[in-house]
């Protein structure tokens, strides 16, 4: 499968030599390394299971060719190609996405690193925060501590590559949202749709409380400070431009603003923008059942995506045992890339199956196709020996 997808897309060309910039000539060796990362086997176990390379050869390839930017470029190649397939257009047009964190247990040393989140019990771990498009493509994945709020990382994933920049409606769970997040999302052109916990307890903010209908006055928490927004609009706009240009990650900026004291005008002004946007969203959420349905469908795709990743983590009892942040990131990025390759391959062959049935005169109702998923893995043999064809030496 990896060879077939790489032959069609050439995603391994993204893994150039760190010093010379030359493409990797050992394609099968590089695929072994990526497979070892994606299946959580590690290079030593992969060297025992493959018929082509030993540990030192794989280690040299990993050291000189595998790095964060290359992982992101390879992922972008696969995701962009999957989005152009006719079958993917059945599921969506790439204009909406969902994001969610998936907990991965780590080795016991995680306790000393404060990686224990009571939500997941006493087991230390970290989270892979993944963005999944309406076409099922996992276009962004971030490794974040299990103890932090997920909300600030929503915008990071959307701005990570071109696929995320085309998204207009973003679904997520509550994830510790803030008014700053609603404000920043609106400024960046995203319609943030959160499945907010304890929605009845949230208060609305209006420009003129006196004109609010009597039935809604108990829900009003205060007056939006329009004058503060106007006075600080240039600074607010510069914040949005800075995030769009990639000069600073949105998560870093949002955390910085949240840490400011109450009297900081920029932080308060962006909060006021967020309160207005949150008020508009809550009203629309209550009235628009179609929005609720879209959000549920999007979040369900993310949950199904987690199931595929859980199936792929066959090594080390599913634990992330790398001690360095860099090693943990590569492990999660490799898993996400392998998942994207499987989704691309499944999308291609699902499209072929539909075309073949129609060519044989069999009925394929169009209304059934959106309910078909490319997240299946029952047809893939994950364990055993990895026997690669011998490639001629360059």
- Domain ranges (residues) in the chain: 95-301
Question: CA angle, 389 as apex, 387 and 394 as ends, to 5°?
Answer: 130
Model confidence pLDDT, tens digit, residues 253-276: 998 888 887 778 999 999 999 999
Handedness of CA 356, 312, 137, 123 (dihedral sign): positive
User: How much is the pLDDT for 202?
Assistant: 86
DSSP states of 259-288? HS-TT-HHHHHHHHHHHHHHHHHHHHHHH-
Q: Tell me how far apart the alpha carbons of residues 131 and 100 are, in angstroms, rounded to a whole number.
A: 7
Place of tokens 């204009």: 95
In the block, residue with structure tokens 């360095």: 324
- Average pLDDT (312-334) is 85
> Does the pTM exceed 0.85?
yes
Structure tokens at 225: 């400070």
Q: How far apart are alpha carbons 222 and 205 in whole angstroms? A: 5
User: What DSSP line would sit under 59-127, residue for residue?
Assistant: HHHHHHH--HHHHHHHHHHHHHHHHTSTTHHHH--S-EEEEEEEEEEB-GGGGTTT-B-GGGTT-BEEE
Average per-residue pLDDT in the chain? 90
Six-digit token string for 26: 């050992």
pLDDT at position 138 is 97
Partners of 132 in beta bridges: 98, 138
């Amino acid at each position: 499968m990896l060879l077939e997808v790489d032959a069609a897309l050439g995603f391994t060309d993204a893994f150039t030599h760190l010093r010379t910039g030359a493409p990797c000539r050992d394609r099968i060796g590089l695929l072994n390394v990526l497979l070892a990362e994606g299946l959580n086997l590690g290079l030593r176990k992969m060297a025992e299971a493959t018929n082509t390379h030993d540990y030192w050869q794989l280690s040299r390839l990993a050291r000189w060719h595998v790095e964060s930017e290359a992982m992101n470029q390879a992922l972008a190649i696969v995701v962009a190609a999957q989005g152009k397939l006719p079958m993917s257009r059945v599921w969506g047009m790439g204009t909406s996405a969902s994001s969610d964190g998936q907990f991965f247990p780590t080795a016991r040393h995680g306790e000393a690193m404060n990686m224990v989140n009571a939500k997941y019990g006493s087991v230390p771990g970290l989270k892979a925060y993944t963005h999944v498009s309406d076409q099922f493509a996992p276009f962004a994945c971030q490794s974040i501590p299990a103890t932090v709020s997920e909300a600030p990382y929503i915008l990071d994933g959307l701005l990570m590559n071109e696929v995320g920049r085309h998204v207009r409606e973003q679904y997520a769970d509550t994830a510790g949202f803030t008014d700053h997040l609603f404000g920043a999302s609106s400024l960046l052109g995203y319609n943030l749709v959160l499945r907010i916990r304890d929605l009845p307890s949230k208060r609305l903010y209006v420009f003129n409380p006196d004109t609010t209908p009597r039935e809604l006055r108990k829900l009003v928490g205060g007056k939006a400070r329009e004058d503060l927004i106007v006075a600080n609009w240039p600074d607010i706009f510069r914040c949005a431009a800075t995030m769009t240009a990639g000069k600073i990650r949105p998560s870093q900026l949002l955390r910085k603003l949240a840490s400011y004291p109450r009297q900081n005008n920029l932080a308060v002004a962006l909060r006021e923008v967020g309160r207005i946007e949150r008020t508009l969203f809550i009203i629309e959420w209550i009235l628009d059942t179609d929005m609720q349905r879209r959000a549920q469908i999007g979040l369900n795709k993310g949950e199904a995506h987690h199931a595929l990743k859980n199936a792929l983590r066959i090594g080390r009892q599913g634990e992330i045992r790398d001690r360095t942040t860099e090693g943990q990131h590569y492990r999660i990025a490799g898993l996400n890339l392998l998942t994207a390759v499987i989704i691309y391959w499944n999308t291609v062959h699902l499209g072929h199956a539909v075309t073949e049935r129609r060519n044989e005169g069999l009925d394929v109702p169009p209304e059934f196709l959106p309910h078909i998923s490319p997240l299946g893995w029952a047809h893939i043999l994950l364990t055993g020996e990895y026997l690669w064809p011998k490639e001629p030496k360059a």
